[in-house]
Amino acid sequence: MSTEGPTPENEAADPGNDGGEWSDRLFGGFRKTSERLTGNLAGIVGKTRLDDGQLDDIEDALIMSDLGPRAAARIRDRLAEERFERDVDERAIMEVVAREIAEILRPVAKPLDVVAFPRPQVILVIGVNGSGKTTTIAKLAHLFQEQDYAVMLAAGDTFRAAAIGQLGVWAERLSIPIVKGPEGGDPASVVFDAVKSATDQGIDALIVDTAGRLQNKRELMDELAKIRRVLGRLNPEAPHDVVLVLDATNGQNALSQIEIFKEVAGVSGLIMTKLDGTARGGVLVAAAEQYGLPIHAIGVGEKIDDLRPFNPDLLARVIAGIA
Ligand SMILES: Nc1nc2c(ncn2[C@@H]2O[C@H](COP(=O)(O)OP(=O)(O)O)[C@@H](O)[C@H]2O)c(=O)[nH]1
Ligand SMILES: [Mg+2]
């Protein structure tokens, strides 16, 4: 985590800046990424174009920063075309990199809105254990509360008592109703009860926590399929959203999790967590480029208000180290 305060420069550069504090924290996390990008750029002064060796170095650095081979090649092509004014300098290169990253990220930026009619909107939250599901659910609930929506939680991760307890603590802290079942109980029956209760109480958004045991893919698939069946019986539109929570610190593993969860549950959108303090945030770009799934928000810390809108232009500049 960065300890530096916001600088006038990054405040001015960022149209969506909310004071610099959180983008600064992001910048701390991404610093290694951007250092890797700029570390190989010696010897460019005095030229207006990058040569093949320099382009290779930049492409390698982009791949090492988890942006993935396709995004890296795309940025390389863009840089190869670019005729720089006067001398090439690091900043000018990074401006081009940031512009191209923003192009990749912009189409997937899509906030999670409460729009379902009839209510409630059912949001199923999936992902491997430890990815940040429960914390993200609390953050989302808080965000919806701030928009005056009535929120309810469902403790669909019945596998561990601690998971039910953790969601319960958040519910209490936020004064949000929660539907739970016994440890080891059937998650689908918890979800069934929750939808009925949410409908009766005029709840706007019902957010469902789930277990994320990847050790037994078959079991997980059956469990999520059963939840979907039960939901569909109550409302053919439900679940309205299937949000996959990914831990950015997993780097390329996060991408294979997209594959797996697309297969076992279907995924309508992503939230990437732990972008504070990781050098692997470039994986966001790889995910956007390879899957084109909506990215709803990002997690930048453990606190309740550490969920941020996915701001493609800001993130692109942060990744390129010029935010
Ligand atoms: N630094 C950081 N930690 C997070 C973030 N989101 C979640 N965590 C932490 O990651 C750990 C696992 O989170 P949890 O919500 O229990 O994951 P779950 O097993 O998927 O439900 C907890 O210690 C969280 O506080 C984030 O955006 N940044
Ligand atoms: Mg959990």
How many Å lie between the centroid of ligand 1 and the Cα of residue 23? Answer: 19
Ligand 1 in reach of 281 Cβ (< 6 A): no
Ligand 1 in reach of 257 Cβ (< 6 A): no
With beta carbons less than 8 A apart as the criterion, state whether 152 and 198 touch.
yes
232 is in an annotated binding site: no
DSSP letters spanning 27-42: HHHHHHHHHHHHTT-T
Ligand 1 in reach of 273 Cβ (< 6 A): yes
Note the helical H segments in 39-132. Answer: 52-64, 69-81, 90-105
Question: What pTM does this model have?
Answer: 0.91
Count CB-CB contacts under 10 A for residue 86.
9
Ligand 1 in reach of 131 Cβ (< 6 A): yes
Which tens digits make up the pLDDT trace of 1-54? 333 333 333 333 333 444 456 666 666 656 666 676 666 555 555 678 888 988
Q: Where are the beta strands (DSSP E) in the chain?
A: 121-126, 151-156, 178-179, 205-210, 241-247, 269-273, 295-299, 307-309
Which tens digits make up the pLDDT trace of 155-203? 999 988 899 999 999 999 999 999 999 999 999 999 999 999 999 999 9
Predicted confidence at residue 23, as pLDDT, reads: 66
Q: Which of 134, 135, 208, 278 to mutate to test the pocket of ligand 1 (most atoms within 8 A of CB)?
A: 135
Ligand nearest to the CA of 302: 1
How many Å lie between the centroid of ligand 1 and the Cα of residue 15? Answer: 28
